[in-house]
A and B are shown apart, each in its own frame.
Chain A
């Protein structure tokens, strides 16, 4: 049985179509990522699956239960971390955990122990009496994850759990997610960060309410076999961009780290041409290598591919 099944789900807000006939299925124990730009409909999808919004049409099941007609049972089987931090800032760490373990009906005799476990997992045992308001961002996120897990739900929905969190905290957070998946929990997670997509077993790329691609991260990257990516770093990135814009062999330029990624058809030929063109303008190249496409490259290519097909 699937952990999550989504069939032709549509969500309209008035005239606006936020989610446009999406379908996908998530296996048990899988980390399933929803990736997409702002307004793609990721949060809306998650909210429908949590029973917070009713779909305009289509069907969705979570743990085999219909999210509309069996919403109450669904609630006991899922944990949810919303995009915006939504625990009580004027309560302490411990009081928040207590509240949610009570609301989820964790059996009395297990409650103490479960609260301890959650605090330990979130690494907040020493801060249990602190007001949540006083915690740094990354810690709040760990607490939110903890509260979403008090009742040990088999399925977790995490909506941009790492937004606004520093890179180290993000890594720690993803380590926790991976461990949860290894323990058999199903995780549906959305993110803005391309590098995080690599942690997912499978990815659905969303754009303007539609799923434009769905596969394992590596497979998505492979589907771009006909193109290659060059990574360029130079003495004057700004001037380089102007030159590259006019360079016919470069299909697309995206910023990446300290340099840019260039999408090209024939990497060797393109490399020579770029070197020549930049030299002509007196720009020194510090790095120009063929690289594996980043998730962002994949994403942009898939979305542009989709647009091309539409035309």
Chain B
């Protein structure tokens, strides 16, 4: 049995790696995608032009402006005096955001009340808008926290004086942090996601096509008269692509770490385990699709029809919690979602298996089920 599987695998690898076209297909898309998501699809906003309207004119308001200017994300390009001036700049697209510090800002801050800062954002590109919003909010919060900390320290000191007791005042260090992706870099978010896409393409589409090709060319007929069993055929056909897929994982991960400096906080072993389980599912799906396709084109189309919605609903680009509730439930039947959670968990949060095991189990169930179904459907005869 192993002997025959080995022969099949050897043959498959030879075929896959011999054709220059095939070689390109195996290793180029990963790098292209990586570059695309690493460089081109950059949702980060850097040095966004903004306008600043200071209606308060106090040290407090100037400190806030300094905080914005100190951020790499913003660049104050105008200081309009009147409201409509600012709006016009927005309309004409000269600036992406208008910040108005309302009069009485400093006083309110001193009293610990809600300080009034108005932010107007150019919302044509909702994505950019929400990112700008996030950056601005972060700066504001940090500023507010600092002020609060300062106030509290002062209150404590005042208390200490009142009691005439020498209390050491704790220096409160308040810091907000966006967890897991502190720089809010979209690259960190996307590059690990590219892994998912690449493994799926290499394993799903290529296996489906490779199997259908045997049938199209008639070579399947020759294999069927040998003692090769269906399971052996399927393993011989899929394991090479699994290996190639895992090589791609290593390739993409290395590139992500070295070129794009994406953080990798978790364990490579957990990632690899997740990848193996995911590959089980995609290979099984590939075999399944080959049993319902007659030509290579059909196999390719079927793969895309399966993978596109699965990928869209995986949370790669659109967060699942933003989807309609029924669709959110639907995503639970989506293996791509689970693998994406594993990948991002490992890369960004350093999550271990103790947290990710439900995803792993889900993938295992998918994989075993779809593989079983394919082997069962994959009949020994020609009809």
Using a CB–CB cutoff of 8 Å, the interface residues on chain A facing chain B are: 47, 50-54, 71-72, 75-76, 78, 80, 82, 84-91, 95, 98-100, 102-105, 147
Contacts and interface: CB of A to CB of B under 8 A. Distances in A.
A86 B217 contact: yes
Contacts of A82: 218, 221-222
B133 interface: no
Contacts of B322: none
Contacts of A103: 4, 7-8, 223, 226-228
B225 A80 contact: yes
A88 B219 CA distance: 7
28 contacts: A51-B225, A52-B224, A52-B225, A53-B381, A54-B383, A76-B227, A78-B225, A80-B222, A80-B225, A82-B218, A85-B218, A86-B217, A86-B220, A86-B221, A88-B11, A89-B217, A90-B15, A90-B19, A91-B14, A95-B11, A99-B10, A99-B11, A100-B226, A102-B7, A103-B223, A103-B228, A105-B227, A147-B222
A109 to B, nearest CB: 13
B321 interface: no
B382 interface: yes
A115 B227 CA distance: 18
B383 A88 contact: no
B6 interface: yes
A86 B4 contact: no
A54 B381 contact: yes
B83 interface: no
Given A86-B220, A91-B18, A95-B11, 19 more contacts: A47-B382, A52-B221, A54-B381, A72-B227, A75-B225, A75-B226, A87-B222, A88-B11, A90-B15, A90-B19, A95-B14, A98-B7, A99-B7, A99-B10, A99-B11, A100-B222, A103-B4, A104-B227, A147-B222
A104 B10 CA distance: 15
Contacts of A80: 222, 225
Interface in B287-317: none
Q: Please give me the 9 A-B residue pairs with the lowest Cβ-Cβ distance, nearest first.
A: A102-B7, A86-B218, A103-B226, A86-B222, A80-B225, A84-B218, A52-B382, A99-B11, A86-B219
A102 B6 contact: yes
B224 A102 contact: no
A90 B213 CA distance: 12
B15 A91 contact: yes
B3 interface: yes
Interface in B192-217: 217
Contacts of A47: 382
A52 B6 CA distance: 24
Contacts of B226: 75, 100, 103-104
B204 to A, nearest CB: 22
A99 B7 CA distance: 6
A50, A78, A99, A100: which has the most chain B beta carbons within 10 Å? Answer: A99
B227 A75 contact: yes
A107 B167 CA distance: 89
Nearest to B18: A90
Interface in B344-368: none
A68 to B, nearest CB: 10
Contacts of B19: 90
A52 B219 contact: no
A82 to B, nearest CB: 5
A240 to B, nearest CB: 43
B6 A50 contact: no
Given A75-B226, A100-B226, A103-B4, A53 B218 contact: no
Contacts of A99: 7, 10-11
Contact of A53 (B10, B11, B228, B383): B383
Contacts of A84: 218, 221
Contacts of B7: 98-99, 102-103
Contacts of B14: 91, 95
B57 to A, nearest CB: 77
Contacts of A95: 11, 14
A43 to B, nearest CB: 10
B4 A105 contact: yes
A71 B380 CA distance: 10
Contacts of A85: 218
A98 B9 CA distance: 13
A54, A89, A103: which has the most chain B beta carbons within 10 Å? Answer: A103
Nearest to B228: A103
A64 B31 CA distance: 57
Contacts of A72: 227
A117 B133 CA distance: 76
Contacts of B11: 88, 91, 95, 99
Nearest to B232: A103
Contacts of B220: 86
A75 B381 CA distance: 13
B29 to A, nearest CB: 21
A95 B220 CA distance: 17
Contacts of B228: 103
Contacts of A91: 11, 14-15, 18
